Amino acid sequence: MKILVANLGSTSLKYRLFEFANGGERLLARGGFERVADYPQVIEQCLGELKSGGWIQSEDDLAAIGFKTILALGVNGCVFLDERVVQAMEACNQIAPAHNPPYIAGIRLFARRLPKVPLVALFETAFYQWAPPAAMRYAVPEAWHELGVRRHGFHGASHKFIAERSAELLGRQDVAQRARQLYVDAGSSPVRPPDLRIISCHLGGSSSISGILNGVAIGNSLGMSPQSGLPQNNRVGDLDPFALPFLMRSAGLSLDDVERLLCKESGLKGLSGGFNDIRDIQTRAAQGDDRATLALDVFVHQARHWIGATQRRGRAGVYRRHRRKLRRTARCHRRQPRTTRHRARRGQEPSNQGAGSRHQRARFTGEGDGDSHQRRVGGGPRNQAPARNSIGAPIGRSASSLAPASTTLNL
């Protein structure tokens, strides 16, 4: 059985031909095209290469064609591509104008050429079906949310591969198996402690950053559309929503004008002065181009912002999932004699007092003036460090006060 997988990016097309037999798979052929402008023509070239290479005698040799589709209204996961699904994709053309139209054109071309071959779609949003609700909601009226104004997350295939492969490289076969079976058992595969937290960075012409906890996504930098998040090749990335009405009123722009500028003249292209390929921008920056350098600096700044936010989100999940453990540890702590619960008083400190920050030393030694360095965090007299449990959280505060519970992954 031979299956062709076609990946149509916003500026590229890549394909692989697999053969499945005796419970295993084998890669037969692979290829790709960069800086694509005419997708139907490139798809024709793809089929021609498979024939000329002798991998297929005719299109009838293909058992199925798989697509890494982007977004469809009310459709998610892995589904057969029938007219209903394609129409659901067309309903999101205005949300993903750089991605859905070429994909739909390619799907319809394959359907016309290969009417007997099943077409299957795995949507880029599928990886985020189990992300915590707070990571996928916007602070908008409920009626807007019901209409589809929500975070979707994209680049799911890429980030899911990172989830699986990184776990394998780190010797966590349990986490790799959970990621591998995610679309089969919805993340119910057991994993052992400790938690495995991964930050996956998909960077290039279209970029996003995902947090992954034990093989399952807990959020993504892309929101409702691929125009959000980091600055994209010629798409704006994150932007204050009130910039739109301001531009329309002050510059006399129509909604169509604003949409075109946001999707085709913004992002790295707008920052760099007309270059939307990261390789060209790097070349220009190396030559001393200030605008190209600014584009790279903005890109790096946004990447660091999302990496930091994702790291905190992953740790918040650990606190929430260990809430009962925190309470048990606190109860055991209260039963211990007072002399073993608290750290040594002033004059009984360990010899390495110089370690740590000024604020940390102040808690141990009473350094500094005023009460600002002497506030109690977990109970006990002033100038004492708070007692902490097995994962380093201060005892005496509820788990919900340590980190936002809304960013928790509940499996």
pLDDT tens readout for residues 213-249: 999 999 999 999 988 999 999 999 999 999 999 999 9
Two tokens at 32? 């790709």
**Confidence grade of residue 312 (pLDDT, cut at 50, 70, 90):** low
> What architecture (CATH level 2) is domain 156-320?
2-Layer Sandwich (3.30)
Output the pLDDT for position 401. Answer: 32
At residue 72, φ and ψ (nearest 5 deg) are: -140, 145
Give yes or no for a contact between 4 and 66, defined as CB atoms under 8 angstroms apart: yes
Please state the φ and ψ torsions of residue 57, each to the nearest 5 degrees.
-85, -35
Query: Which of the 8 DSSP states describes residue 407?
Result: G
Query: What pTM, to 2 d.p., does this model score?
Result: 0.69
- pLDDT tens for 359-403 read 444 443 444 444 433 333 333 344 444 444 333 333 333 333 323
pLDDT tens-digit map of 4-59: 998 876 667 889 999 998 878 899 999 988 887 777 788 788 888 999 889 998 88
Q: What residues contact 308, with CB distance under 8 A and at least 6 apart?
A: none
Please say whether the beta carbons of 313 and 211 come within 8 A.
yes
Please name the fold of domain 2-123.
Nucleotidyltransferase; domain 5 (3.30.420)
Higher-pLDDT residue of 375, 317: 317
The pLDDT value recorded for residue 313 is 59
Locate 302 and state its tokens.
């946004």
- Torsion from C-alpha of 77, 154, 317, 164, nearest 10 degrees: 70
Confidence at 87, pLDDT banded by 50, 70, 90: very high
Which pLDDT value is given to residue 105? 84
Q: Which phi and psi (to 5°) does residue 32 adopt?
A: -175, 165
Burial 17-36 (b: 16+ CB within 10 A, else e): bbeeeeeeeeebbeeebeeb
pLDDT band at 323 (very low <50, low <70, confident <90, very high): very low
pLDDT digits (tens, 9 = 90+) for 167-215: 999 999 999 999 999 998 888 889 999 999 999 999 988 899 999 999 9
Output 66 or 339, whichever has higher pLDDT.
66
Residue extent(s) of CATH 3.30.420.40 domains in the chain: 2-123, 156-320
